[in-house]
Amino acid sequence: MNALTAIPYAEFGISSNFSFLRGASKPEELVVTAKFYGFSSIGLADRNTVAGVVRAWQQAKVEKMPYHPGCRLVFGDGTPDILAYPRDRQGWGHLCRMLTQANLRDETEKGATLLELDDLLEWGDRMSLAILPNLSGGAGGNLEFISRLKDRFGAALRLAVAPDYGGNDRFRIEQAAAMAEHARIPLMATNDVLYHTAERRPLQDVLTAIRLNTPVCEVGLELTANAERHLKPPLEMARLFRRHPEALAETLRFADELTFSLSDLEYNYPDEPTESGLGPQAELERLAREGAVRRYPAGVPEYVLERIDSELALIERLNYARYFLTVHDIVKFARSKDILCQGRGSAANSIICFCIGITEVGPERIDTLFERFISEERNEPPDIDVDFEHERRDEVIAYIYDKYSAKRTALAAAVISYRGRSALREVAKAMGLSEDVRSALSSTIWGWSTSELGEREANAGGLDRTDPLSRQVLERANEIMGFPRHLSQHVGGFVITRDRLDEVVPIVKTAMEERKMVEWDKDDLDAVKILKVDVLALGMLTCLKRAFTLLTDHYPGARDPFGRPYVLATLPEEHEDVYAMIQRADTLGVFQIESRAQMSMLPRLKPENFYDLFIEVAIVRPGPIQGD
């Protein structure tokens, strides 16, 4: 054991860049640094949010680092900040309920959290708490407040103190120790971390300026006084608290109380009532085999039966049957209301999805791998996207809300992050550059670029890269790239759970009063194996529905070879006249192949069948065939 790691210590006062425009390091960076320093464990406590805890958890699993998700409670009524860490699954539910209650308060603005002390008093059970008192305000008010919390939460309470490196740390720590002794609660050490390394202090200043909409040179005392708010090695923390070594030991006792892990949330899939009264897996098997008979009226091929058996076995091993039944129920409702819908994406690789009606194109049409959809090796839940007629998607959304209620469903979040243009523009503004220079700088960046900014952008803005200010602008803009700016709602990703959703993840307001969203995006939800269904709107399905209506009204005799009305799955395949139109780029209004890029490629490649068309689309729009 080297000198940096000789003393056991756990850090719990950590804010990441998910304390939006305050923290200056990613959750992953903080975990990696804590591992390097040899911390006993680490906790993440962003301001009134748990938006970043999943990312830290994933990195902690890679580093084999003990990790605890929590939250820094920042109150709107003058109550001192409190670090709150759930002890168990019930404590996590209480934390989520508390944040949801504050987020959805009538007077709370979108994107804000109006937390009150009464919220903590109501929901603070099954949590370990650490008060961060305002030591500059004297002991009287702090002691009264601490005594009140001690009466309510007892041994779950600590008093946390961090050095502020203002020349009076010995007095501050002694003051905090005296308050803790008077209140008969333990003293706990923290460094109140905002970034993983001191080199991020300039970026933290820029983030502060952006948040306050004021140039750095005018922010003044709102900036931190020094660059000490970074993760420090245990030996350095021991030196800072050398007169109170019990404060470091208390961080270990605090950690020992925390048994909750985000893995406790896995497989919280809804319990769908089954028509047959069977269990979820048996019901899925029944639906698949009955659906296969409908899909293959001339007789189900042997290879299809084998593939059904193989997929069902994998779904049972991974415990995903409830997920398929939930998506099937949504699609079944849409069909009952004559709403055209179609599953897409990797779900098209599944014969089960085809047989139970989620997708309309059998996977045997092209050579696909089911493992692209579900894989034991990846250990990720399936992701099924379903398109609905764009004019009638709201009916499906209303059904989801009506069936599962607001207590069990909400939209997934989308993390809006800084990219090239927004990063350069906001950093340049924070550094005091004029509007014309900011416009010239950002105008050189196209689309959603995340490429490193450098000489080209500097030249466009008339900046000299050797000038310290110009260099600062480019360096800070590159650092902020990829940082979260705020949360927005996903276009149609619904989260549905068996338990109360607000006991799984906090819920927040959206711009639409009737809709709410959770704090985690699709990647976070996948990581904790929580069901998300993409309920998307597609205008082309509306056009197709009108075409089917036209066919029914004017050509009632049009039937498939088995005498059934046409549906998407039974339309004639590989019609020569259709491909003749495609080959001459007569595709205006045809989904996926109507862009100028596609229309210029079609006469050259001359697709003659579905597989040719599949390849042609992928060449022009390569996203679906790209991988890590």
Output the domain CATH number for residue 74: 3.20.20.140
Q: How far apart are alpha carbons 303 and 292 in whole angstroms? A: 12
pLDDT at 626: 47
Q: Per DSSP, which regions of 74-223 are E strands?
A: 81-86, 127-132, 157-161, 187-189
Report which of residues 443 and 245 the model is more confident about.
245
| Mean local confidence (pLDDT), 383-411 | 90
Read off the tokens for 171: 């007095």
Of 162, 194, 192, 193, nearest to 175 (Cα)? 162
How would residue 440 be classed by pLDDT, with cut points 50, 70 and 90?
A: confident
Is the pLDDT at 451 greater than 60, yes or no? no
Neighbouring residues of 202: CB distance < 8 A, sequence distance ≥ 6: 472, 475, 476
Is the pLDDT at 466 greater than 80, yes or no? no
| Residue 588: Cβ within 10 Å count | 8
Assigned domain for 395 exists: yes
Q: How far apart are alpha carbons 598 and 616 in whole angstroms? A: 8
Question: Do 69 and 42 belong together in one domain?
Answer: yes
Question: Do 306 and 316 belong together in one domain?
Answer: yes
Assigned domain for 238 exists: yes
How would residue 434 be classed by pLDDT, with cut points 50, 70 and 90?
A: confident
Question: Do 359 and 394 belong together in one domain?
Answer: yes
How would residue 110 be classed by pLDDT, with cut points 50, 70 and 90?
A: low
Question: Do 257 and 361 belong together in one domain?
Answer: no
pLDDT at 1: 45
Assigned domain for 456 exists: no
Is the pLDDT at 627 greater than 80, yes or no? no
Question: Do 135 and 124 belong together in one domain?
Answer: yes
Of 345, 313, 335, nearest to 399 (Cα)? 335
Instruction: Answer for the pair 372, 348: CB distance below 8 angstroms, yes or no.
Output: no
Assigned domain for 564 exists: no
Assigned domain for 477 exists: no
Report which of residues 95 and 113 the model is more confident about.
95
pLDDT at 465: 65
Is the pLDDT at 343 greater than 60, yes or no? yes
Read off the tokens for 627: 């991988």
Read off the tokens for 357: 């009606």
Question: Do 395 and 294 belong together in one domain?
Answer: yes
Question: Do 500 and 366 belong together in one domain?
Answer: yes
Of all residues in the chain, the percent with pLDDT exceeding 70 is: 91
pLDDT at 366: 61
How would residue 462 be classed by pLDDT, with cut points 50, 70 and 90?
A: low
488-515: per-residue pLDDT in tens? 988 888 999 988 999 999 999 888 877 8
| Mean local confidence (pLDDT), 232-250 | 96
Question: Do 361 and 388 belong together in one domain?
Answer: yes
pLDDT at 183: 93
Q: Among 219, 239, 264, identify where a domain stops.
A: 264
Global confidence as pTM:
0.88
What phi and psi values does residue 133 have, to the nearest 5 degrees?
-70, 155
Least confident of 225-229, 327-331, 573-577: 573-577
Question: What rounded mean pLDDT belongs to the chain?
Answer: 88
Is the pLDDT at 624 greater than 50, yes or no? no
pLDDT at 175: 93
Question: Do 110 and 190 belong together in one domain?
Answer: yes
Instruction: Answer for the pair 384, 392: CB distance below 8 angstroms, yes or no.
Output: no
Q: Among 496, 523, 539, identify where a domain stops.
A: 539
**What total number of domains does the chain contain?**
3
Q: Residue 231 corresponds to which amino acid?
A: L
Question: Do 240 and 296 belong together in one domain?
Answer: no
Assigned domain for 398 exists: yes
Q: How far apart are alpha carbons 386 and 275 in whole angstroms? A: 23
Neighbouring residues of 377: CB distance < 8 A, sequence distance ≥ 6: 371
Of all residues in the chain, the percent with pLDDT exceeding 90 is: 60
Q: How far apart are alpha carbons 21 and 203 in whole angstroms? A: 10
Least confident of 116-130, 225-239, 443-457, 548-562: 443-457
Rg (CA), the chain: 29
164-182: per-residue pLDDT in tens? 988 889 999 999 999 999 9
Q: Among 243, 264, 285, identify where a domain stops.
A: 264
Least confident of 179-188, 231-240, 292-301, 362-371: 362-371
The whole domain housing 589 covers 573-623
How would residue 619 be classed by pLDDT, with cut points 50, 70 and 90?
A: confident
Give the best-scoring range by mean pLDDT among 23-32, 376-385, 476-485, 597-606: 23-32
Assigned domain for 420 exists: no
pLDDT at 622: 62
Is the pLDDT at 16 greater than 90, yes or no? yes
pLDDT at 628: 44
Question: Do 257 and 283 belong together in one domain?
Answer: no
Assigned domain for 213 exists: no
pLDDT at 399: 93
pLDDT at 228: 95
Q: How far apart are alpha carbons 266 and 525 in whole angstroms? A: 10
Buried b (16+ CB within 10 A) or exposed e, 509-536: bbeeeeebbbbbbbebbbbbbbbbbbbb
Question: Do 281 and 254 belong together in one domain?
Answer: no
